[in-house]
Structure 1
Amino acid sequence: MNALTPTRGQLALAKQLAEGGSRAHGGTSHVDASVYTDPSRHALEQQRIFGKVPLVIAPSALLPDNNMAVPHDGFGKPLLIARDGDGRAHVFLNVCRHRGTRLVEGCDAVKSPRLVCPYHAWTYKLDGSLTGVPRPETFPGLDKSQFGLKRLPTCEAGGLIWFSFDEQADFAEAEALGEDFAAFDLSGQYCFRRRTHDVAANWKLIMDAFLESYHVARLHAQTIGKFFKDGVSTADTIGPHQRSAVGRAAEDDALSSSDWQVLRSAITFTYQMFPGTVLIVSPDYMNLMTLMPQSESRVLVEDFMLIPEPPATDKARDHWERSWSLLDGGVFASEDFRAAALCQQGLMSGALDRITLGQLETGIRTFHDAVEARLG
């Protein structure tokens, strides 16, 4: 593999960290508590945001081989993520075009050049085309080319698979992240672990947690807090998405390096992709989290751990297992997601009319402004 090189944007954030991070400016701001608790607000977000904009559904690494398919139910409809025989990614409705039967049962990956409906055995290739109909003479005039699986707009870019429920969706803003993701070879990673968390909180509370570093030294004091410099952070935007950088407790001169591995040892880059995806780039692995709102007070969070290559030894596997346990089971589940659920409980009580954001929480302000703009 060729040497990886940071982008100009990544290096610019590193330079700001070397200078002490973003300077605090402006006063406090506020977000109405009702945006986290109102059922009608949730319905509007589903209609105007999650029903319209491109959404990340999985890393490319979830489908490492051609002729693979993975059922996915998190976004409210039965979906099927597929990679066809030519390597092209698709997101289909997981529904047979004959009588509406769910085509692939369960949630495990399937590896096969054909998908067969369990009811009447209509058969489809992984590009969605209908190839087989038992007793075809009983369907006179049936044009198989008109009965392929229903494909949703899909884009694979930079190591992520995006889709949209809107036929007019524009993926240009998703593709704009490709250069950044190529800098750390997101498309070449191996999916080591995958787990879905059911969190009793509004989806925006999860996003809020990954849009500020104010909590790191406090909420994570017993886990990862010691690895970071309190308040040394900066951020910018790429279209509707945010890119942030937090300084790690490493040698300061590493912040001026253009060597990617050295830079990763000194900085944790996080990408907050609108509306509900987070990519955290740790020194030797990455976590991708996709958020799937279920109600105003419940969200599914799917966490993928991505590593450079499959573990070749028991020692390597043990190393990654420890990292997975620390982040997914410890930091995220026991700290970040727990804090979000506690916030939801407090906000549902009606104790606050609004929440207050300080100068280290400006990323949250930017995010909520983007949400409001989409809601009109």
Structure 2
Amino acid sequence: MEQAKQVELVRRVLEHLRTGTTHMVEEESRLPVAPYLQPERLEAEQRLFRKLPMIVGHASQLAEPGDYLTHDSMGTPLLLCRTASGEVTCFLNVCRHRGTRLVAEAQGRRKQAFVCPYHGWTYDSTGRLRAVPDEVGFPSRPSESVGLVRVPVVERLGLLWVTLEPGGPDVDTFLAPVMPDLAGFGLEKLVAYKPHTMERKLNWKIAIEIFLEAYHLRYAHRESIYPLFFNNVGLVDRLAPHIRAIFPKKTIQELGGQPEAGWELRKHANVLFQLFPNVLLLVQPDHVSVSTVHPLGADRTEYRTFWLLPQLPETEKATRYWEKNIEILIGAVQEDLAMGESIQSGLRSGANEFVRLARFEQGLRYFRDDLDAYLASSR
């Protein structure tokens, strides 16, 4: 993030602290409950996911030729790997013989080839079919004409993006509103660590929305992270279709007496980017966490996170340090998702036709407005 932007954001926070206010819009609003519950709405959202660029990993997870990564969260099995020439490729993780899943492991390295566990059809990292046992039974000679089905993959900011179906924006156009902010964090220089996955009983939209306001910190996180933060103070800005949220820590007050040229926002605030529609990218003082939210059903969601560190821990002390950081974040996320499950249960009860949003919960409004607009345009 450019220094001028950091200074602008810190100034805004300090002014809110001076005046005892927070960032908010002119009017409160409401969101209908039905979209959290309807199977037909979920189907439309899942179709949208297939047309938008989606994060499936980080380039460091494919550091060397032969490294591979699988991803199933969008309902389509994917296999990413780095070829001998250094190219990152992505394929459907499906054997062209009878449709068997070619690779079962989440991540690893294969020096030679991918061998189907069912009948031994063998593919190289470029997707070429290299061997078919007893190919005499196939007069069509599939080894000469059949390969793994390619899926477009693009590396930006060190992150790996795939688009399953045509019809949506390209990655550069999609990221343009947030690129000036994200480019300065050096995500491409970091290394992925400790992928973590959990499933919870809530709609995927709730799993996004609970992170877009500071109103809940004092109550949901009273005994965990709240002592680090202020009560209901934050900035939530629309970088459509994305959102940038700043949750200042109490230490930000120290910057008031220091030269602006030395202000570093990430050291004194959680800097959260909600990359539309399903990514929560959290910039912390010395690392970044990347979380993706995938709907498994109208009331069931997969929450995946990996951490981006300056380097992998090489000592026991470093390992303890990063494990403690991960424990703190996962603990706070668990508290949030528990509230989300409670919300989902409450919405199913029929008590409310709408949910009410305060003037300082504008992030939820921005998210839902953009989601509704994308769904309308894709019909």
**Residue 61 of structure 2 corresponds to which residue in structure 1?**
62
**Residue 300 of structure 1 corresponds to which residue in structure 2?**
302
Distance 1:259 1:88 in 2: 39
Higher mean displacement: 228-237 or 283-292: 228-237
1:242 matches 2:243: yes
Deviation at 1:277, TM superposition (A): 0.8
Deviation at 1:175, TM superposition (A): 4.4
- For the 8 Å contact 1:277–1:290, the answer to whether it is kept is yes
Give secondary structure in 2 for the equivalent of 1:71: strand
Deviation at 1:253, TM superposition (A): 5.0
Residue 68 to residue 252, structure 1, CA distance change in 2 (3 Å): same
Distance 2:276 2:139 in 1: 47
**Residue 183 of structure 1 corresponds to which residue in structure 2?**
184
Q: Aligned AA for 1:320?
A: W
Deviation at 1:163, TM superposition (A): 1.0
1:221 matches 2:217: no
Distance 1:138 1:7 in 2: 66
- For the 8 Å contact 1:254–1:263, the answer to whether it is kept is no
Distance 1:78 1:304 in 2: 19
Distance 1:35 1:128 in 2: 40
Distance 1:340 1:62 in 2: 31
Residues 175-217 of structure 1, C-alpha deviation per residue, up to 9 Å, x if partnerless?
Answer: 4344433312212222221111101000000110111121122
1:33 matches 2:33: yes
**Residue 317 of structure 1 corresponds to which residue in structure 2?**
319
1:276 matches 2:278: yes
Distance 1:346 1:191 in 2: 37
Deviation at 1:266, TM superposition (A): 1.2
1:85-104 correspondence runs (5 A): 85-104=84-103
Give secondary structure in 1 for the equivalent of 2:16: coil
1:351-366 correspondence runs (5 A): 351-366=351-366
Higher mean displacement: 108-117 or 136-145: 136-145
Q: Aligned AA for 2:14?
A: A
Higher mean displacement: 209-218 or 57-66: 57-66
Higher mean displacement: 231-240 or 364-373: 231-240
Give secondary structure in 2 for the equivalent of 1:324: helix
Residues 160-186 of structure 1, C-alpha deviation per residue, up to 9 Å, x if partnerless?
Answer: 111122134422234434443331221
1:44-83 correspondence runs (5 A): 44-47=44-47, 49-83=48-82
Residue 60 to residue 14, structure 1, CA distance change in 2 (3 Å): farther
**Residue 155 of structure 1 corresponds to which residue in structure 2?**
154
Residue 25 to residue 95, structure 1, CA distance change in 2 (3 Å): closer
Give secondary structure in 1 for the equivalent of 2:94: coil
Q: Aligned AA for 2:273?
A: Y
CA RMSD of aligned residues (A): 2.3
Higher mean displacement: 68-77 or 316-325: 68-77
**Residue 109 of structure 1 corresponds to which residue in structure 2?**
108
Residues 272-331 of structure 1, C-alpha deviation per residue, up to 9 Å, x if partnerless?
Answer: 011111011111222111111011100000011222111121111111111111111x11
1:19 matches 2:15: yes
- For the 8 Å contact 1:13–1:235, the answer to whether it is kept is no
Deviation at 1:220, TM superposition (A): 1.1
TM-score w.r.t. length of structure 1: 0.90
1:367 matches 2:367: yes
Q: Which ranges of structure 2 fall in alignment gaps of 5 or more residues?
A: none
Distance 2:247 2:173 in 1: 24
Q: Please point out which of 265, 268, 279 is paired with 2:267.
A: 265
1:204 matches 2:205: yes
Deviation at 1:144, TM superposition (A): 4.6
Deviation at 1:13, TM superposition (A): 2.6
Residue 257 to residue 174, structure 1, CA distance change in 2 (3 Å): farther
Distance 1:196 1:37 in 2: 23
Residue 231 to residue 316, structure 1, CA distance change in 2 (3 Å): same
TM-score w.r.t. length of structure 2: 0.89
1:124-139 correspondence runs (5 A): 124-136=123-135, 138-139=137-138
Distance 1:29 1:145 in 2: 60
Give secondary structure in 1 for the equivalent of 2:332: helix
- For the 8 Å contact 1:42–1:296, the answer to whether it is kept is yes
Distance 2:43 2:151 in 1: 21
Give secondary structure in 2 for the equivalent of 1:211: coil
Name the % identity: 32
Residue 360 to residue 93, structure 1, CA distance change in 2 (3 Å): same
- For the 8 Å contact 1:152–1:167, the answer to whether it is kept is no
Distance 1:7 1:130 in 2: 51
Give secondary structure in 2 for the equivalent of 1:338: helix
Higher mean displacement: 130-139 or 112-121: 130-139
